[in-house]
Amino acid sequence: MARSRFACLRRIASPCLALTDPVMRTWAQLYLGMALEGTGEVEGARAAYGKVVERWGKPIPRSITAEKAILVDDRCRTNIPEIYAAGDCAAIFDPLFNKHRLCDYWETAAITGAIAGANMSSAAKSGATPPLPDHYIAVSSFSTQLFDLRLAVWGAPRSVDRRIIRGNPNVESPEVIEIGVDTSGRVAQVAAFGHVNEHPALASLVQRRLLMNGNEERLKDPGTPLESF
Ligand SMILES: Cc1cc2nc3c(=O)[nH]c(=O)nc-3n(C[C@H](O)[C@H](O)[C@H](O)COP(=O)(O)OP(=O)(O)OC[C@H]3O[C@@H](n4cnc5c(N)ncnc54)[C@H](O)[C@@H]3O)c2cc1C
């Protein structure tokens, strides 16, 4: 069992995924590093962590310009009347983080596509902008499948200053939750391997931008219900 988990992680962490899914590959390297560290394989762990630092440790600020994405407001409107943009080509204004964000994920593409469509149709019919919920008010999220594990991520990774781990992942039981906190001490991102039943509560931590306020140790403890925060 343990060996097959290692083999899975090693396969995902291999360079084959570097072009098609670099994010998944880097996550796999991170968890491979943690698993190897747990079994005392220091050199292997160091090599895996090294790959993560290489990719994520030196972030290059990505300016969102017309070259990267089309800036749209929270109704998917561009600065040109009657032109809307949605999905991967658009950087939408996210009121939760008070900035334009390029969220190139399935969920965001579906949500922004629906918002653009509703606003276009409403504007075409009456010249008016529709009321809520046709603003962008979602907690941006990304999900994907890693063999039998579901990875779900909410929020803004670029705002994360430090990370809190909830639970003790190991090779037999790799389910874990990672909570990213920004410089003001608020939850900016949550990433969960598994824990599907807790998804609404995890999304809510980001939606409420939960203030840590001395809660860190309780948050690390999987025995403390998320609803109590
Ligand atoms: C390998 C890979 C893995 C991914 N895995 C995940 C994942 O696990 N989870 C997740 O949330 N997201 C994932 N994504 C991202 C996700 O696929 C995108 O965010 C989403 O598909 C964006 O939807 P979209 O409609 O904006 O663009 P697209 O899905 O790219 O659709 C754009 C369409 O426009 C067409 N098109 C382009 N130019 C023209 C033209 N000039 N004329 C006519 N048609 C044109 C294209 O052919 C395409 O069909 C992945 C992306 C890739 C590439």
CA 119 to centroid of ligand 1, rounded, Å: 22
d(CA 111, CA 217): 35
- Shortest-distance atom of ligand 1 to CA 24: 8
More confident residue, 7 or 168: 168
Ligand 1 site, residue 109, Cβ cutoff 6 A: yes
Q: What is the pLDDT of residues 46-84, one digit of tens each?
A: 888 888 887 776 655 455 565 689 999 999 998 888 899
Q: What integer pLDDT is reported at residue 132 of this predicted model?
A: 47
72, containing H or E segment = strand 70-72
CA 88 to centroid of ligand 1, rounded, Å: 7
- Shortest-distance atom of ligand 1 to CA 107: 11
Q: What integer pLDDT is reported at residue 20 of this predicted model?
A: 64
Ligand 1 site, residue 22, Cβ cutoff 6 A: no
Ligand 1 site, residue 105, Cβ cutoff 6 A: yes
Q: What integer pLDDT is reported at residue 129 of this predicted model?
A: 62
Range ranked top by mean pLDDT from 59-68, 121-130, 135-144, 191-200: 191-200
Q: What integer pLDDT is reported at residue 116 of this predicted model?
A: 93
Domain boundaries, the chain: 1-57, 70-126, 141-229
d(CA 226, CA 35): 25
Residue 97 corresponds to which tokens in the numbers above?
A: 């983080």
Residue 140 corresponds to which tokens in the numbers above?
A: 């941006």
Q: What percent of the chain has pLDDT over 90?
A: 45
Q: What is the pLDDT of residues 30-41, one digit of tens each?
A: 888 888 888 888
Handedness of CA 89, 24, 99, 192 (dihedral sign): positive
Handedness of CA 205, 208, 211, 215 (dihedral sign): negative
The pick from 70, 84, 88, 89 for probing ligand 1's pocket by mutation, whose C-beta has the most ligand atoms within 8 angstroms, reads: 88
Residue 63 corresponds to which tokens in the numbers above?
A: 């300016």
CA 5 to centroid of ligand 1, rounded, Å: 30
Q: Is 146 helix (H, G, I), strand (E, B) or coil?
A: strand
Do residues 52 and 33 lie in contact, with contact meaning Cβ atoms separated by under 8 Å?
yes
CA 21 to centroid of ligand 1, rounded, Å: 13
Sheet arrangement for strand 99-101: 70-72, 90-94, 99-101
Ligand 1 site, residue 216, Cβ cutoff 6 A: no
∠ CA 69-72-73, rounded to 5°: 150
CATH no. of 141-229: 3.30.390.30
d(CA 48, CA 34): 9
Range ranked top by mean pLDDT from 11-25, 115-129, 205-219: 205-219
Quick one: CA torsion of 12, 16, 19, 20, rounded to 10 degrees?
A: -60
Do residues 162 and 154 lie in contact, with contact meaning Cβ atoms separated by under 8 Å?
no
Ligand 1 site, residue 106, Cβ cutoff 6 A: yes
Whether the per-residue pLDDT at 212 is higher than 50: the answer is yes
Residue 134 corresponds to which tokens in the numbers above?
A: 């046709």
The pTM of the full predicted model, rounded to 2 decimals, is 0.72
d(CA 137, CA 158): 19
- Shortest-distance atom of ligand 1 to CA 108: 19
- Shortest-distance atom of ligand 1 to CA 89: 26
Residue 11's pLDDT band, with cuts at 50, 70 and 90, is: confident
